[in-house]
Amino acid sequence: MIMTVTARVIAAARSLVPSSQFPLLRPSSYVFAAQKSHSHTLLIRQMSSEAQSITTRLHSSGLLRSQGLIGGKWIDAYDGKTIEVQNPANGEVITNVPLMGKRETDDAISSAYDAFKSWSKLTAADRSNRLRKWYELLMAHKEEIGQLITLEQGKPLKEALGETNYGASFIEFFSEEAKRVYGDIISPTIADRRLLVLKQPVGVVGVITPWNFPLAMITRKVGPALASGCTVVIKPSELTPLTALAAAELSLQAGIPPGVVNVVMGDAPAIGDAILASSQVRKITFTGSTAVGKKLMAGAAGTVKRVSLELGGNAPCIIFDDADVDVAVKGSIAAKFRNSGQTCVCANRILVQEGIYEKFTNAFSKAVQNLQVGDGFGEGVAQGPLINEAAVQKVEKFLQDATTKGAEVLLGGKRHSLGMTFFEPTVVAGVKSDMLLSREEVFGPVAPLLPFRTEEEAIALANDTNAGLAAYIFTNNIQRSWRVTEALEYGMVGVNEGLISTEVAPFGGVKQSGLGREGSKYGMDEYLELKYVCLGNMDRQ
């Protein structure tokens, strides 16, 4: 579905944009500027036309839903209020969705609670078959789901299709794991007793997800929840609710009963408070900022809910002298610039050993310079827009803090000429540990480079943070890779690889990056309670 016309317009516009190294217009350049402005206008019109065409096709497919889902019924907010869902690439409104709050959430919880009684009693094989059907429908509608992700989130279509595959893989994986929930028989200490351990579903689960992966963050939680026998109330981000609604529609088509999957959106604090206050909700699973995660963890104490938290990161990417530079550059680009730098496992700090610092910096900057920025539906686009204006302002704030403290922008460093929330892929040198770029997630396309001398120094720099989600190492020394991996205080480590997420491996962090694990066989345990059963007087005739 990639449009070559859009690609040609983007290419034309880019060819007219002056290099960031020559930002000032000379007197003879006024005609050049006028041409650039005209091309930019054409580009915006083309982007808008293409988005409208895709929106129309999604409406026709039945996957562009604009209502919440409660008890198998599509409903509006009870007071009729709505919020706009915008395309971040051009600012246009895709559709309006309900501005729901406490009353709708309470009804969704009641619906999930009622459905739990029957869903949890189905055989594991039955739940498995329905999840498998859901997976097959997600894959059958892969193109539409990918387009929907690009439309509301902005990432390049190739990445969006990749997320669709990734998101669907969790439903497939947990459809299989549903049949592998095993208990135990324990050898008794008294002869006439028999000791058993059962695994049973937790109950109703509140699922709160972010905007950066509008499908995968849902399926990674809902897959194991449903496989275990739980029911869910999903609150997607108000910025990207449409993918969640499309996935929910397909779950109904797959034969997952009404009330098992519910979706509410709108007033985030009101919805969150309702989920926290309800005694019928027995678990909350959340992906998002550490600050919000702490509030949810505190709020869950009132009813002693189980909590799974996948929170912020501050991932170090350590490039040692003995690394293969080509492998390190490719891996660092993937770890840093995927989804325009808007992932919790992005390489937030790139630590480069002094012996290879200049060589790596030159090769890395050249690769970053070749990244094409544009609308996600454009051919060859590697980086789309940031999610909104607030995200751009955060990036600018971090860059200003760094440059005023002595850092040097080697590449990029400002808003892209495309306007809106597009930002230039940026490389910054001379970054120090006291800068915001080192202390907090920039969540944008900015790569800070920090030199180091020794392995011990690299480990100390890497661990000097409250976060502990993901880390990356590039080295050809197997002993070093093992030694450093063990020393890093992170839940996940990629060695000579920048893309490490997969449904078959546990995803999660340590320290203030969260609690629990998602994906893999370990992900099932987050939705199961252990029940010990003691059978006494078993020797009686």
Catalytic residue IDs:
310
Encoding tokens for residue 239?
A: 């910025």
CA-closest candidate to residue 503, choices 247, 139, 169: 169
Q: How far apart are CA 499 and CA 279, in angstroms?
A: 39
Q: Which H or E run includes 474?
A: strand 470-474
The dihedral through the CA atoms of 165, 168, 170, 173 has a sign that is negative
Q: Is residue 435 within 8 Å of 409, Cβ to Cβ?
A: no
Q: Which amino acid is at 325?
A: V
DSSP state of 535: E
Q: How far apart are CA 461 and CA 161, in angstroms?
A: 36
DSSP state of 26: P
Helix boundaries (H) for 17-123: 30-61, 102-119
The distance of Cα 202 from the centroid of its chain, to the nearest Å, equals 25
Distances (CA, A) of 347 to 155, 340, 365, 455: 18, 12, 15, 18
Bridge partners, 287 (sequence order): 310
How crowded is residue 295: how many other Cβ atoms within 10 Å of its Cβ? 15
